[in-house]
Amino acid sequence: MNKFWMITLGAIAGIIVLSNLGAIAGLAISGLILYMGVHYYLKSTTTAAKIWWGFVGAVGVLSAISNVPALIGVAAAYGLWMIYRKWNEQPVTVAKTDDPFTNFEKQWNKLSK
C-alpha cells in the first residue's frame, strides 16, 4: 500500500476516532460500572447486597448497550494503529555477530566450495 492511501485511510480513521471519543469514554465507564457490579455481587453475602449489586450490574449492561457506536471508534483506533505500524515498518537487517561459531561456519562454507 503506497503512502497516499495510508495517509488517506489514517486521516479517515483519525476523524472517526475523534468523533466517537465521547462514546468510547462512555463505553469505558459503563464497562467499569458493569465490572464493579459483577465483582461486588460475587463478594456479597446478604440478599439485599446481591440485589443492589445486581441492579448496578444491570445499569452497567444497559449503559454499555447504549454505547455500541463506540465499537466503530474502537475498530477505527485499531485500524489507525495498524496503519501506524505499517508506516514505521523497518526493513529486516541481519546483524553481524562476533560469535566464533557463526564465523567458523561461514569460513568453513567458504573453504568447502
The residue count for the chain: 113
Alpha helices in 20-99 (DSSP H): 21-43, 47-66, 70-87
| Domain residue limits at 10 | 3-112
pLDDT at residue number 43: 94
pLDDT at residue number 2: 81
The count of domains in the chain is 1
Average pLDDT over residues 72-96: 81
pLDDT at residue number 95: 60
The pTM is what? 0.66
Q: Mention every residue, 6+ apart, whose C-beta is less than 8 A from residue 19.
A: 73
pLDDT at residue number 35: 96
Which helix H or strand E contains 39, and what residues bound it? helix 21-43
